[in-house]
């Protein structure tokens, strides 16, 4: 597990993170970690609270650890706890200490930042559809990856372009 390189696909809502994560895992012959928040929120039956974000963070880390043991060289993560931190600040103007400490403790090897250049897909779990909101959150995620001291690549264009660009970047920075 310690030899597994972790690639995080990060970005605002409805920017193709899951689609890219699935395609990357398939192309690399490995597994991917889905966004635990989706599973959690789909069964919640009520609006989420700040405490739920803590539970989502725990679930995400547990799922990541479980799937890292099954990964072949690379683990593709469809999010990391930075996303939960951004949600928490946007909604509650604060973030639980467990989340921030876990962000500091977790190590990843590369970020793929999904751009807002694809059309919004409506979904009951998504909250920020306006172009201004999408740009606002994209800029937050761009700041996160720029300050991560890790290689990162902006994923723009159609799905096929994103996948090709991601695979090239992974070969250059991770599998070289």
- For residue range 121-152, what is the model confidence (pLDDT) as tens digits? 766 665 656 789 999 999 999 999 999 999 99
Say which CATH architecture domain 5-173 belongs to. Answer: 3-Layer(aba) Sandwich (3.40)
Mean pLDDT of 24-49: 94
Pairing of strands 152-155, 74-77: unpaired
- For residue range 97-109, what is the model confidence (pLDDT) as tens digits? 999 999 999 999 9
Give the Cα separation of 33 and 35 in Å (integer).
7
Cβ atoms within 10 Å, residue 110: 22
Residue 11, pLDDT score: 96
> Residue 153 has which token pair?
């690549």
Q: pTM of the entire structure?
A: 0.94
Domains of the chain, by residue range, sit at: 5-173
Residue 1, pLDDT score: 44
If phi over 0 gives left and psi between -120 and 50 gives alpha, with beta otherwise, what is residue 29? Answer: left
- For residue range 53-84, what is the model confidence (pLDDT) as tens digits? 999 999 999 999 999 999 999 999 999 999 99
Question: Percent of the chain beyond pLDDT 90?
Answer: 85
């Amino acid at each position: 597990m310690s030899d597994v390189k972790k690639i995080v696909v990060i970005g605002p809502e409805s920017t193709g993170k899951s689609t890219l994560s699935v395609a990357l895992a398939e192309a690399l012959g490995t597994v991917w970690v889905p966004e635990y928040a989706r599973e959690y929120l789909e069964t919640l039956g009520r609006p989420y609270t700040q405490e739920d974000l803590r539970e989502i963070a725990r679930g995400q880390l547990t799922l990541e650890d479980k799937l890292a043991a099954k990964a072949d060289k690379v683990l593709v993560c469809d999010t990391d706890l930075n996303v939960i931190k951004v949600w928490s600040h946007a909604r509650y103007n604060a973030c639980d200490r467990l989340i921030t400490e876990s962000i500091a403790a977790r190590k990843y090897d590369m970020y793929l930042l999904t751009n807002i250049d694809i059309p919004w897909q409506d979904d009951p779990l998504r909250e920020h559809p306006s172009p201004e909101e999408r740009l606002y959150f994209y800029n937050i995620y761009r700041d996160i990856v720029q300050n991560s001291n890790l290689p990162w690549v902006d994923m723009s264009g159609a799905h096929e372009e994103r996948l090709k660009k991601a695979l090239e970047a992974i070969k250059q920075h991770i599998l070289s």
